Amino acid sequence: MASPSSASRPITKGKQPVAAEFGGPFGSPLAQAVLARDLAECPDELDIDANDIEADGSESDESIPGPTLYRRPSGIAFGAIRPALSLGPAGADESPILSRFERARSREAERSLLRDNHILPPKHQPPHKPQGPIASLYKRLFSTKVRQRVTDEESPPRIVVEPSETTALLGEARGRSGAPAPHEHEHLNEQWEAAVAAGQIKTTWQREAKTIATYSRSLVLTFLLQYSLNATSIFAVGRLGTRELGAVSLATMTASITCYAPVQGLVTSLDTLCAQAYGSGHKQLVGLQLQRMIYFLMVYFIFVIVVWLNAEWILATWIDPVSAALAGIYLRTLMLGVPAYMCFEAGKRFVQAQGIFHATTYVLLIAAPTNVFVNWLFVWHLGWGFRGAPLAVALTQNMLPWLLLLYVWKVDGSQAWGGFRRAAFKNWGPMIRLALPGMVMVVAEWFAFEILTLACGRIGVATLAAQSVLMTVTAITFQIPFPVSIAGSTRIANLIGANLVDAAKTSAKVTVAGGVLVGLFNATMLFSFRYQIPRLFTPDPEVIEIVATVMPVVAGMQLFDGMAAVSHGLLRGIGRQEFGGYANLIIYYVVALPISFGLGFGVGWGLKGLWFGVTVGLGLVALVEYLFVWLSDWDLIVKDAERRNRSG
């Protein structure tokens, strides 16, 4: 799972932000070398004047110094079955660039915290009247304000700002449209810095719960929409027969291991390179990096063609020839959409580096319903059957980059393009060195789960079909705790960047609680509807019975899955995702998979044993990562973030 680890305090130099995220792209000397080399090769074409940056509204008056608390979680870096935990800077999935709107949100977040800590007066003075027991209980449960100190010695410091020539004579001066005047930003900075230095900024679990819930809600929609592109074909094919359902599971597994996972791992290098180019003020270099990656992916597509054209006889060595033949048909048809998929994955990083986070959501709001309609049209209405499902997926995948291109052309993002360049065919080495670690991490974790599907092919056709149902269901439920983990990591990184250690710890506890609650919700739903869920995929009674029998184990896994997703987020938030990457690899391959195969084949538990091993592995992952976070020196983490920001 590639993910953010930002320490969100940009440092500005003139009009161009040059600061880095903690563990993010600006901490990558390799990315800085790429930027320097590109500028040396074409300095005249790519030189961006500071006035141009101000003209498009991306910076302007936002160069006012001071802390920046608010950061938007990205939520568009993935969209696959189970995003992997990335390693190091190649996996940073957030741009350090803040738009004008996000800077305004940052200021408002700071004011709100100062009000809740009784350092600024409340926005609206409440009437002084006695509260009833219900109102008092409501305030205690949902109020975001920190309990006020009773002793004068512990009262928060009041920052007295000396009047100057710009100070308003009659109340607070406001800018146009009610915006704060420039001197108010300066006073806010003074109050904020003094309060942070004095350790007076605290937060409450109510505030953190509200913030994380706000961050998560749009991310859940984005992930569910993108995963629906793959899940819809499984729903459509499952009604055709048990063998077809198992074949589409095998084909999806092969596509994930040989194409989808490697591509998502390779494009993580753009999270570093594009953000580096945009953050330096040379926006058109973002388009240059995009072109390099697309050309490189087209070279990788040759490997995909060779494997998928021969997938039938490769799979036939593991499973029955009929299922292997159907899977080969699926892959050969799906191949029509692979180039577009590669362009879309790279294009997501292109808009993300510019701080354009909603573009993918808008694209998916159009593509996902279209995908459902096309699946119905091809598979059932036109009677194309099994061949219609991959054709519908390929058609939808070809829509995605064109819709994204339309957004960039007509709405926002074209300022970073700069046209096609011959330089895109040169200087691939650093890009590849950044991309390969990300690919290895994604493929390794992905394969640990997909290998269960391959193992099920040796048990039987019905078991393979049941595995397809279970993998699809768990992939859908995973789209809820994973956005919570992204929101939590973003919030924790923000608070660390603002030197608020206690507040970051409070946010971490709230995130853990959120992961547990989501896991319990998913577990309850799967256990309660263990007989109804498989009927959505297939009418075969044998498959339904197998799924219902294994579902209690899968339901128990949901709790550990939610906790592991959140523990990944905590590691990303404190910038220690390297530990999580290695812990995942060791536990999956040394502990979880051996237990799965031992119980599934050695003891004879079958599919239930395969899933029990994965459940044990996820529980160990969560335990080890929580212990690491608990024992980490958070004060040292804050100092590391400050040092890296200053060195940006």
pLDDT in tens, 460-488: 889 989 998 999 899 899 889 988 888 88
Please compute the mean of the pLDDT values over residues 574-602 and round it to a whole number. Answer: 87
Find the farthest-apart pair of alpha carbons in the chain and give their distance in angstroms, rounded: 85
The per-residue pLDDT for 59 is 40
Question: Bigger pLDDT: 76 or 396?
Answer: 396
Q: Is the dihedral of CA 50, 56, 58, 62 positive or negative?
A: positive
* pLDDT tens sequence across 14-53: 333 333 333 333 345 666 666 677 776 665 444 444 444 3
Please compute the mean of the pLDDT values over residues 228-249 and round it to a whole number. Answer: 87
C-beta separation of 461 from 320 below 8 A: yes
24 domain residue, yes or no: no
Please compute the mean of the pLDDT values over residues 516-520 and round it to a whole number. Answer: 95
Q: Is 80 exceeded by the pLDDT of residue 197?
A: no
C-alpha dist (Å) from residue 476 to 73, 307, 367, 471: 20, 28, 18, 9
* pLDDT tens sequence across 247-259: 988 898 899 889 9
Q: How many helices (H) and strands (E) does the chain have?
A: 25, 2
The per-residue pLDDT for 179 is 47
Question: Bigger pLDDT: 58 or 293?
Answer: 293
Per-residue pLDDT band at 577 (split at 50, 70, 90): confident
- What b/e sequence results for 215-241 when a residue is b if at least 16 CB atoms lie within 10 Å of its CB, and e otherwise? bbebbbbbbbbbbbbbbbbbbbbbebb
Q: Is 89 helix (H, G, I), strand (E, B) or coil?
A: helix
The per-residue pLDDT for 28 is 56
The per-residue pLDDT for 349 is 86
Question: Bigger pLDDT: 119 or 644?
Answer: 119
C-beta separation of 542 from 574 below 8 A: no
Per-residue pLDDT band at 543 (split at 50, 70, 90): very high
The span from the CA of 558 to the CA of 122, in Å, is: 42
451 domain residue, yes or no: yes
* pLDDT tens sequence across 405-433: 999 999 988 888 888 888 888 888 878 88
The span from the CA of 509 to the CA of 495, in Å, is: 13
Asked which of 45-49, 206-210, 315-319, 549-553 is least confident by mean pLDDT, the reply is 45-49
What Rg do the C-alpha atoms of the chain give, in angstroms?
26
Position 625: which residue type?
Answer: E
222 domain residue, yes or no: yes
45 domain residue, yes or no: no
The per-residue pLDDT for 137 is 62
* pLDDT tens sequence across 133-145: 765 665 666 666 7
Please compute the mean of the pLDDT values over residues 525-551 and round it to a whole number. Answer: 94
Q: Is 70 exceeded by the pLDDT of residue 186?
A: no
The span from the CA of 624 to the CA of 587, in Å, is: 10
Q: Is 50 exceeded by the pLDDT of residue 633?
A: yes
Per-residue pLDDT band at 446 (split at 50, 70, 90): confident
C-beta separation of 361 from 221 below 8 A: yes
State the total domains in the chain. Answer: 1
Q: Is 60 exceeded by the pLDDT of residue 171?
A: no
The per-residue pLDDT for 132 is 65
The string of DSSP codes covering 286-315 is HHHHHHHHHHHHHHHHHHHHHHHHTHHHHH
Asked which of 19-33, 66-80, 339-353 is least confident by mean pLDDT, the reply is 19-33
The per-residue pLDDT for 389 is 92
Per-residue pLDDT band at 522 (split at 50, 70, 90): very high
Per-residue pLDDT band at 10 (split at 50, 70, 90): very low
C-beta separation of 203 from 508 below 8 A: no
Residue with token string 């997926």: 393
C-beta separation of 470 from 536 below 8 A: no
Residue with token string 């420039």: 182
94 domain residue, yes or no: no
The per-residue pLDDT for 21 is 33
Q: How many CB atoms lie within 10 A of CB 576?
A: 19
Question: Bigger pLDDT: 570 or 69?
Answer: 570
Asked which of 19-23, 233-237, 534-538 is least confident by mean pLDDT, the reply is 19-23
455 domain residue, yes or no: yes
**And the tokens for 92?**
């940073």
C-alpha dist (Å) from residue 178 to 173, 175, 285, 327, 565: 9, 6, 37, 61, 41
The per-residue pLDDT for 523 is 96
Query: Whole-model pTM?
Result: 0.78
Question: Bigger pLDDT: 304 or 10?
Answer: 304
**And the tokens for 365?**
């709001």
Please compute the mean of the pLDDT values over residues 173-195 and round it to a whole number. Answer: 57
Question: Bigger pLDDT: 452 or 529?
Answer: 529
Q: Is 80 exceeded by the pLDDT of residue 438?
A: no
C-beta separation of 494 from 71 below 8 A: yes
The per-residue pLDDT for 579 is 84
Per-residue pLDDT band at 65 (split at 50, 70, 90): very low
The span from the CA of 646 to the CA of 7, in Å, is: 11
The span from the CA of 230 to the CA of 248, in Å, is: 10
Please compute the mean of the pLDDT values over residues 165-181 and round it to a whole number. Answer: 45
106 domain residue, yes or no: no
The per-residue pLDDT for 296 is 93
422 domain residue, yes or no: yes
The per-residue pLDDT for 32 is 67
Asked which of 143-147, 513-517, 557-561 is least confident by mean pLDDT, the reply is 143-147
Range of the domain at 570: 213-647
Per-residue pLDDT band at 622 (split at 50, 70, 90): very high
